[in-house]
A and B are shown apart, each in its own frame.
Chain A
Amino acid sequence: MRYLGIKPKTPRIAVFDFTCCEGCELQFANKEETLPAFLAAVEIVNFREISSERRDDYEIAFIEGSISRDDEVVRLEGVRKKAKVLVALGTCACFGGVNRMKNAYDLDAANKQVYGDRPKPTLPVRAVREVVPVDLQIPGCPVSKAEVERIVQHLVLGVPYNFPAYPVCVECKQRYNVCLWDKGLPCLGPIALAGCDAPCPSAGLGCYGCRGPAPDPNLRELYETARKHGISDAEIQERLHFFGGFEGLS
């Protein structure tokens, strides 16, 4: 890949998966129209889901998933030592994701319900930054490939990436959607971080805040709006807890 005859640096990247569905790393292979250009901009040296090549000389490690077992902690610490830059990829890595809802239950009882009298080792779910230092967080369930492409361009060029300073509502308006609140449907669009291009409200599904909060989220006003539409505080709280991104805010 050259622009004006200048060959940019091609960073060596690796992708590692922990407690998750592997849907975020799958986005690396999606958006087929720009896939060859994306793959040419990086050198993939370790990406278990799509390649049997395994090298340890990566500069940027993308981590998908939350951390929920001792061996995952050891593996993650090993990656952190080798990587110059460690990126938390997706909502599970950034906040714990839906997996975090497990923490509200007694883990022994959970084990008994699923595995009977043969329990499996498990820990309360943690986000990656609760285990090792993280250099960059890319939220989303799943991540937006378009945003990942923008961020990787910034990584290639060594230019800082700024996430939007506004909520999902802004991007939703740009798509000429009728506000779901006006249809009586709850939506976290007013307080959730933009950058996804509002796929959920555009499809008729109120935002669940998978990307976590926008800067300075006005929760009080959100609860007020919800009450006006006959939606209880409990229902809003359930939504805020769904992806784990609003921990400590609700």
Chain B
Amino acid sequence: MKLNVQIDVHHLTRVEGHGNIRVRIEDGIVQQAAWDVVETPRYFEVMLKGKHYSSAGLLTARICGICSIGHCLASVRASEAAFGVHIPDLASKLRLLAKHGETLQSHVLHLFFLAAPDFLALPSALPLLEANPKVVHLAQRLKGLGNAICDVVAGRTTHPLCIQVGGMTRRPDSATLLDLRSRLLTALDDLKATVDLFKTFQIPDFVRETEFVSLKGVDSYPWIGGDLVSTDGVLKPEREYTSMTNEWVDDNNTTKWCKVSRESMAVGALARFNNNHHLLLPEAQAVASALGLSHVCHNPFMNNVAQLVECVQVALDCLRLIDDIVAAPADAPVSVPVEPKAGDGVGAVEVPRGILYHHYTYGDDGRVVEADCVIPTTQNNKNIHDDIHALVRQFAPRNGMTDDKLELLCSMLVRAYDPCISCSVH
């Protein structure tokens, strides 16, 4: 038993944003085990007030540098719900394709550059450039493909341009889409190589029973809109998202905390898997089985594996979407005219780190009167905090445990959630 432990991680590395880990064990008693988010708040909900609907999505994309497409999609969905606008089928497919591109680039960024170095005992992925360039090239190709999909469909990966209220500004030409299609076929082999790499990683054996929240898929793995579900059996319509988040303010955090049926909750790839595993394509289910992921999984470290499973899922779904988009008639519309009106609307979107909600109330002039954004990492922060406590209690008594090893485990735990901290504070 490690009787005395002092861990003080200031601004954890290899995560987006600024958070601290503090652990103190004295005479075998855990006095403190905390995940504190100290990011500076930007007050997006305040800045949204008075904004015209045409710029709300542009502004809220800036909440996050990694999942800006997801933010833009949640934003336009909320506005479209408020105005009663129904976008054309082709626009829905283009949006989902852009979203898949973002999921691929974000998951690959996390898996290779943020998470993998811990499993390879490296400070970062940079030494791999010399030591194992094949792995870097693998990551580079996959992430490059995700970014290319976003560039082609949304105009840009970071802070998209083509996604607007009412649909999309343009339809990419078929030749470019078919080029992406052939790259996707190569990517399936690259993903197989990634699965082989992850099979060699020792995932820490840690379990804490958790309530997982996500969209509830009906006939396919869910990404944009629909009902909300938790592994504890709570089911709510999209509009009632606040009963699935119940935000409150903590004194030590600039992020808010969230819960549903328990003291904390979790969202993300693992939550989506736990609630919708039966809707994965067979190839993605096979990857889950090969990597030992089965539902309901309560080991947060397995979020890494769930992300990899989703990479396979979205790569395959991109092939289907590209075929559909290329086959659509040349004159198929990608947008509809928008008539703003007073009212409110909610947009729920599964972004890489979990379910994201935007809720806007509009005046007759199409300007925002009130706004609320609930971010995935906001929903995870209390769960990370509670996990650290359980992790420390479980691992500190083990033979040969040192402060450094425990600090690494705590850091790996936080990284497994792939937190987007500045996003969570916004």
A→B interface (CB under 8 Å): 17-27, 29-30, 32-33, 35-36, 39-40, 44, 47-54, 68-69, 72, 97-99, 101-102, 105, 109-111, 113-116, 118, 120, 122, 141-142, 199-200, 202-205, 208, 238, 242
B46 touches A32 (CB 8 A): no
A99 touches B45 (CB 8 A): no
Given the known interface contacts A114-B45, A141-B159, the answer about A26 and B65 at a Cβ–Cβ threshold of 8 Å is: yes
Q: Could you give 15 example pairs across A and B, Cβ below 8 Å?
A: A22-B65, A22-B66, A23-B66, A23-B68, A23-B159, A27-B158, A29-B143, A32-B143, A48-B11, A48-B13, A49-B13, A98-B62, A109-B46, A110-B46, A208-B58
Interface residue from A17, A26, A122 paired with B158 (Cβ < 8 Å):
A26
- Chain B residue nearest to A243 in the complex (CB): B62
Question: How many angstroms from the CA of A114 to the CA of B247 in the assembled complex?
Answer: 11
Given the known interface contacts A23-B65, A199-B161, A242-B55, the answer about A105 and B43 at a Cβ–Cβ threshold of 8 Å is: yes
B68 touches A204 (CB 8 A): no
B40 touches A30 (CB 8 A): no
A114 touches B155 (CB 8 A): no
Question: How many angstroms from the CA of A113 to the CA of B63 in the assembled complex?
Answer: 18
Interface residue from A22, A111, A199, A238 paired with B156 (Cβ < 8 Å):
A199
- Chain A residue nearest to B147 in the complex (CB): A30
- Chain B residue nearest to A40 in the complex (CB): B129
Residues of chain B contacted by A25 (CB below 8 angstroms): 65
B113 touches A29 (CB 8 A): yes
Shortest Cβ distance from residue A61 to the other chain B in the assembled complex, whole angstroms: 16
B66 touches A53 (CB 8 A): no
Residues of B32-46 whose CB lies within 8 A of A? 40-43, 45-46
Interface residue from A19, A50, A199, A242 paired with B113 (Cβ < 8 Å):
A50
B63 touches A21 (CB 8 A): yes
Question: How many angstroms from the CA of A236 to the CA of B157 in the assembled complex?
Answer: 26
B124 touches A53 (CB 8 A): yes
- Chain A residue nearest to B12 in the complex (CB): A48
A22 touches B124 (CB 8 A): no
Question: How many angstroms from the CA of A49 to the CA of B254 in the assembled complex?
Answer: 19
Given the known interface contacts A122-B41, A242-B55, the answer about A116 and B249 at a Cβ–Cβ threshold of 8 Å is: yes
Q: Which among B14-22, B205-213, B262-270 touches the partner chain?
A: B14-22
A21 touches B162 (CB 8 A): no
Residues of B155-210 whose CB lies within 8 A of A? 155-159, 161-162, 164, 169-170
Question: How many angstroms from the CA of A33 to the CA of B64 in the assembled complex?
Answer: 24
Given the known interface contacts A22-B17, A22-B422, A208-B58, the answer about A35 and B41 at a Cβ–Cβ threshold of 8 Å is: no
Question: How many angstroms from the CA of A239 to the CA of B14 in the assembled complex?
Answer: 35
Task: Pick from A23, A36, A102 the residue with the most CB of B within 10 Å.
Answer: A23
Q: Does B374 contact A (CB under 8 A)?
A: no
Residues of chain A contacted by B109 (CB below 8 angstroms): 26, 29
Q: Does B226 contact A (CB under 8 A)?
A: no
Residues of chain B contacted by A109 (CB below 8 angstroms): 46
Interface residue from A48, A72, A118, A242 paired with B40 (Cβ < 8 Å):
A72
A19 touches B123 (CB 8 A): no
Question: How many angstroms from the CA of A24 to the CA of B42 in the assembled complex?
Answer: 17
- Chain B residue nearest to A32 in the complex (CB): B144
A53 touches B129 (CB 8 A): no
Residues of B117-165 whose CB lies within 8 A of A? 117, 123-126, 129, 133, 136, 140-141, 143-144, 147, 155-159, 161-162, 164
Extra contacts besides A30-B147, A203-B169, A205-B162 (6): CB < 8 Å: A23-B159, A30-B158, A32-B140, A50-B125, A204-B161, A242-B58
Given the known interface contacts A32-B144, A105-B46, A122-B41, the answer about A51 and B123 at a Cβ–Cβ threshold of 8 Å is: yes
Shortest Cβ distance from residue A167 to the other chain B in the assembled complex, whole angstroms: 18
Question: How many angstroms from the CA of A109 to the CA of B2 in the assembled complex?
Answer: 47
A142 touches B249 (CB 8 A): no
- Chain B residue nearest to A123 in the complex (CB): B40
Residues of chain B contacted by A49 (CB below 8 angstroms): 13-16
- Chain B residue nearest to A206 in the complex (CB): B54
Interface residue from A113, A202, A238 paired with B45 (Cβ < 8 Å):
A113
**What 6 A-B pairs are tightest by C-beta distance, nearest first?**
A23-B65, A204-B169, A203-B155, A32-B144, A51-B124, A203-B161
Q: Does B401 contact A (CB under 8 A)?
A: no
Question: How many angstroms from the CA of A30 to the CA of B144 in the assembled complex?
Answer: 7
Q: Does B3 contact A (CB under 8 A)?
A: no
Residues of chain B contacted by A19 (CB below 8 angstroms): 40, 42
Residues of chain A contacted by B17 (CB below 8 angstroms): 17, 22
A32 touches B63 (CB 8 A): no
Q: Does B114 contact A (CB under 8 A)?
A: yes
B114 touches A203 (CB 8 A): no
Given the known interface contacts A24-B65, A39-B126, A203-B155, the answer about A50 and B162 at a Cβ–Cβ threshold of 8 Å is: no
Residues of chain A contacted by B125 (CB below 8 angstroms): 50
Given the known interface contacts A22-B17, A205-B162, the answer about A52 and B124 at a Cβ–Cβ threshold of 8 Å is: yes
Given the known interface contacts A49-B14, A203-B162, the answer about A115 and B249 at a Cβ–Cβ threshold of 8 Å is: yes
Residues of chain A contacted by B219 (CB below 8 angstroms): none
Question: How many angstroms from the CA of A203 to the CA of B170 in the assembled complex?
Answer: 7
Question: How many angstroms from the CA of A39 to the CA of B14 in the assembled complex?
Answer: 17
Residues of chain A contacted by B18 (CB below 8 angstroms): 17
Residues of chain A contacted by B254 (CB below 8 angstroms): 120
Task: Pick from A68, A72, A98, A238 the residue with the most CB of B within 10 Å.
Answer: A98
Shortest Cβ distance from residue A200 to the other chain B in the assembled complex, whole angstroms: 5
A21 touches B169 (CB 8 A): no
Shortest Cβ distance from residue B276 to the other chain A in the assembled complex, whole angstroms: 28
Residues of chain A contacted by B161 (CB below 8 angstroms): 199-200, 203-205
B157 touches A51 (CB 8 A): no
Question: How many angstroms from the CA of A35 to the CA of B112 in the assembled complex?
Answer: 15
Residues of B243-268 whose CB lies within 8 A of A? 249, 251, 254
